[in-house]
Each structure stands twice: as C-alpha cells, then as structure tokens.
Amino acid sequence: MKFSSVLLTVFALAATGLADKTCTPSFDYCSDVLIKSHGFTEADLKDVLKGTDLEKEDLKNILFHCKNPGDVGHPKLCSSGCKDSEQEGSHHCEG
C-alpha cells in the first residue's frame, strides 16, 4: 500500500470519529489535552458529564481521570481551571 493511501485511510478514520481514543489508566487529564493529543472530541467529554452536576460547566474547568485506555470519567471541577503539565497524566487543578 502506498504511503498516500495509508495517509488517506488515517484521515478518513479521524474524520469519521473512528480514530482511537487513548489515555493511560489512573492518569488525570485536562480536556484540552484529551482533545488535542488523545483522540477525544468535545462531544465525547460532554457525554461523560451528562447526568452529573458538572454537565453545564466549561470543559476547561474539568479534570478527567482515565479509567481504562480510551475511557475517561470521574470528572472533577477545577474552579480556577485545569492545569496542564509537561509530565504525562499529571494534570491537576490550578490554585
């Protein structure tokens, strides 16, 4: 298979939402990191919040815990925002 065919296949998977969602179990992630680097969409993360008291909160204020590869949950409100870190999975609330 030519490289261009592989590239088109990867793009097609990403465009249809079938790209792999990945995260390391027991690590915490800010929403922007999950969206930019781990294959999650804003809609995926909002679905996690449905039915919780955090459903109407801004995603930038939520810290998500990776339960299984590709599965986040246990959202935590960060009233001052979620703080990214250089170290994988060590995100936390600001302030």
Return the pLDDT at 48: 97
Q: What pLDDT shows up at residue 90?
A: 74
Per-residue pLDDT of the chain (95 residues; tens, 9 = 90+): 554 443 344 344 444 445 699 999 999 999 999 999 999 999 999 999 999 999 999 999 999 999 999 999 999 999 999 988 777 777 888 85
pLDDT at 82: 92
Strand-pair category, 92-93 with 71-77 = unpaired
Instruction: Classify strands 92-93 and 82-83 as parallel, antiparallel or unpaired.
Output: antiparallel
Per-residue pLDDT at 2: 55
